Structure 1
Amino acid sequence: MDAWLGGAADQLMGQIASAKIPLSRMISPQLYWVMSGDEFTLDINNPDAPKVLVVGNNPDRQNIYGAALGLYNSRIVKLINKKGQLKSSVVIDELPTIYFKGLDNLIATARSNKVAVLLGFQDFSQLTRDYGDKEAKVVMNTVGNIFSGQVVGETAKTLSDRFGKVLQKRQSMTINRNDKSTSISTQMDSLIPPSKISNLTQGMFVGAIADNFDERIEQKIFHCEIVVDNAKVAAETKAYQSIPVITDFTDENGVNRMKDMIKENYDRIKEETKQIVAEELQRIKDDPALAHLLQQGE
């Protein structure tokens, strides 16, 4: 507003044009359909209406849908991180593909509100690249449980440092022409060296877990193979229930009108937006204190 009143219209036009480019990429009838509905609320751990919400990104439009998913995530965090709600979990796979505002605060405070946060990504360097060095460090240092497969470089070193060191005995033997001598010494060495983390095979994991005050865990650091019971997994998969249909696009004649309904919703939103703009311009025009903000002819 200051730039407008100061006559810097050209500067404003440049800024608006820069904002239009990423916003124009989000113009999608499908995205309009998803974000304009009100079939359910985002308080997924509401005792009166618990729900499971699953959202996914499109690799071909990652930057576009990432903004929409980030908006949902930010809102969900505020709604679920409260007292008196059901136990819930926020599970995010391939975390660097979306920006999750408030993630560091959620990890730090959600446990007391019975919210478990599970983050999945390939390497710490991805987190640093997409979230920045400061926020990435907060996330890495505040999580209580870590499960890791094969990683290399700085990530392997970071994990090794987190697992700590242990006092280990070393025995050396010296043999010469006349006699043989043996010496034993102790030294603090990494419990799980970076070289071992860098060469884990499939199914092998290292990690650390946190305990509770009244549920002590003696062995917090592990290096083991996780065995998958394929029979149980198959039985569980077979018992899956069908996902309920929220919106049925089939008309009374059995014709699928999904494309038509999505297009109608898209056109409706565009018309409503034009109407809002027209009403606001008229309101400003009718207000003597604001009328000077409009250019002549508007």
Structure 2
Amino acid sequence: MDLDTVRTFVAAADTGRFQEAAAELAVTQQAVSKRIAALERSLGVRLFTRTPRGAELTIDGQAFLPHARELLRVAERATASVRTGRRPLRVDIIASRGAASGLMRAFHQAHPDVELDVLMLLDIDTAVAAIRSGEIDASFRAVAAPGRPLPEDIESVRVLDEPLQLLTGPAHALAGARSVPLAGLAGHRIWMPGIVPGTEWAAYYEDLVAEFGLTIEATGPNFGSDALLDTVADTPALATFIGQHTRLVWPAGHGLRRIPVTGPTPVYPHSLLWHRDNPHPALPTLRAHLAATTAAPGAGGTWAPTWVRPR
């Protein structure tokens, strides 16, 4: 059903005159008459009766009027849901407990007036496709892994270097250390079942292993962070890497240790990605907030893969 004819019908019903409806809609009276006639043909009923006082609704017109109003309200809500500035800012944070989640929580606290939709997409290809299609407005990623350059219409800025920490159980050989040099981890078993081949974080850890001679095992099913914590707590031979800003809670009996890694400190580079033509008015606000509240990446004494983009 053509919404212009429905809108014209409602205007004529409200004003009671085709001439006044035409003035309200900025069309000719003839156009109003043609639209009403087309709607009547479509419905197979008469909607108005012409009288000396103007146009009066027939019984069928009275029955159709509330539904016509609802059609226009639904159409307005549908338009508003995608209208720039009136729909939520949609941002991919990969995981609910990671650093990107913390960055977006801080943004929400600083800008509670900005409505947000937070999504969690697994791989960078899915995220980039969602950005290009307009499904999301931005994504936090590590870019750009070797051989996987970003499309030319995708912009990125490095917003946070997150230091890695070693997570051990209480019986691990390094559990009592206040810090551990990165080279000192050679020979220790580091278990990370959440590494997914082909992802940007898999590329990151491959480079870390190659440069410092570490042993990272990704064997076994990934049952999530709770199962990982249980295993590390109970197995003295295993440790794992965890981001400094990753929020985890474990039972008091686990006695887990978060140990800073130094000399150099490996940092995971978080970048914000967006489409260069994205017009959402809250996107510049998010970018300005991140620039003002996060430390400049690339600090001395840190390590990141050579393929990581500078700020």
TM-score grouping bracket, smaller chain normalisation: under 0.3
Higher relative contact order, chain-length normalized (CA < 8 Å, sep 6+): 2
TM-score calculated relative to the size of structure 2: 0.20
Structure (1 or 2) with the greater helix fraction: 1
TM-score calculated relative to the size of structure 1: 0.21
